[in-house]
Amino acid sequence: MGNEMYDVLIIGSGPAGMGAAIYAVRAGLKAAVLDRSPVSGGQVLSTYEVDNYLGFPGISGGDLSEAFRQHADVLGVQFFTADVQGVEDCSGEQTRYIIHTDKVDFQTRTIIIATGASHSLLGAPGERELAGMGVSYCATCDGAFYRKSTVAVVGGGDVAVEDAVFLAGICEKVYLIHRRNQLRAAESLQRKLLSLENVEIIWDSEVEEILGSEMVEGIRIHNKKNSGKDTLDVEGVFIAVGIVPDTSLLNDLVEMDEKGYIIADESCATSRKGIFAAGDIRKKPMRQIITAVADGANAVHSVQDFLNH
């Protein structure tokens, strides 16, 4: 373990972590960002177009992440590529945490958890077996393999609709399979989707099984309203049925809700002194890039308050 004691260590380099990092450095705190990936960005990296981040209309997720990183580099933010395996509370009179990673251990007075969330599984038969062989969770990463083919997207949120719009520009035909008759995605995304001739929305339907022996060959769907069943021939299935928080490294250190999101208010303070939660990992009503960045700033403000008292 290094001898250095950090004021704050930020775990995760998505928008929340990067927002926290620039505020921490500008506040003169001894700070660093830990991320298992050398490429910062988190979920934003797999977004092909971001249309609601102030000042950057229509920017790609990759470019926005790169802009965040450049900003952090200009300000001298320190980054470590390390996989965090656990957090140990060694507090005495003062808070002191040890962050265990696959490389070295770090000591810090406070922590900002900004580990975000990762994609949920659909849970349909065939999903695990055909993962990477036609089943994908990232349209921007894998979409190019399906040029001129027919694919299905499952889900009705922002990600599903963004993915369907993106894939419509590459594929011959895109089915969007949604379990209800109303999309959850932002109105502007829905309008874009509805304007596309090669997208067919299949309402009130669930995927019963993903079919194929070595590669995806189709999906069997079930209409919940009329109990009808159908088989669609598709070469790819893009699953966008929500996210699950990445809190495994915390064990029971902080209070979480029943879904595993960390309970913390706008101040980002968790139930444990010196640990703050920012971005998608936090229980909150709106998970957007802009709210994640704001959390990062708020969390640093709270860290400063905490260290000064």
Task: Give the HSE-up count for residue 164: Cα atoms under 13 Å, Cβ half-sphere.
Answer: 34
Q: Which helix (DSSP H) or strand (DSSP E) does residue 284 occupy? A: none
* 155/218 with CB nearer ligand NAP: 155
Q: Which residues pair with 128 in a beta bridge?
A: none
The contact mask relative to ligand NAP for 191-230 (x = CB under 6 A, - = no) is ---------------x------------------------
**256 touches ligand NAP by CB under 6 A:** no
Nearest to 282, CA basis, from 119, 114, 110: 114
Give the tokens for residue 58.
């229509």
Which residue, chain included where needed, has tokens 């889900």?
155
Active-site hit among 142, 163, 246, 295: 142
**160 touches ligand NAP by CB under 6 A:** yes
142 is catalytic: yes
Segment near ligand NAP (CB under 6 A); pick from 65-73, 220-228, 255-263, 287-295: 287-295
* 171/237 with CB nearer ligand NAP: 237
Binds ligand NAP (CB under 6 A): choice among 241, 268, 293, 299: 241
Give the whole-angstrom CA distance, residue 217 versus residue 237: 10
| Chain residue whose CB lies nearest ligand NAP | 157
Binds ligand NAP (CB under 6 A): choice among 35, 127, 142, 158: 158
138 is catalytic: yes
CA-to-CA separations, 198 to 7, 36, 173, 237, 242, in angstroms, rounded: 53, 38, 5, 16, 24
* 63/206 with CB nearer ligand NAP: 206
**249 touches ligand NAP by CB under 6 A:** no
Binds ligand NAP (CB under 6 A): choice among 87, 99, 122, 138: 122
Give the whole-angstrom CA distance, residue 28 versus residue 49: 34
Contact between 219 and 135 under an 8 Å Cβ cutoff? The reply is: no
Segment near ligand NAP (CB under 6 A); pick from 108-116, 157-165, 196-204, 254-262: 157-165
Contact between 154 and 285 under an 8 Å Cβ cutoff? The reply is: no
Active-site hit among 83, 141, 230, 265: 141
**62 touches ligand NAP by CB under 6 A:** no
Classified as helix, coil or strand, 253 is coil
Segment near ligand NAP (CB under 6 A); pick from 4-12, 96-104, 178-186, 295-303: 178-186
Contacts of 216 (CB under 8 A, 6+ apart): 126, 130, 133, 134, 135, 210, 234, 235, 236, 237
268 is catalytic: no
Catalytic residues: 138, 141-142
Which residues in this chain contact ligand NAP in the complex, by CB under 6 A? 47, 50, 52, 122, 154-160, 179-180, 184, 206, 240-243, 287-289
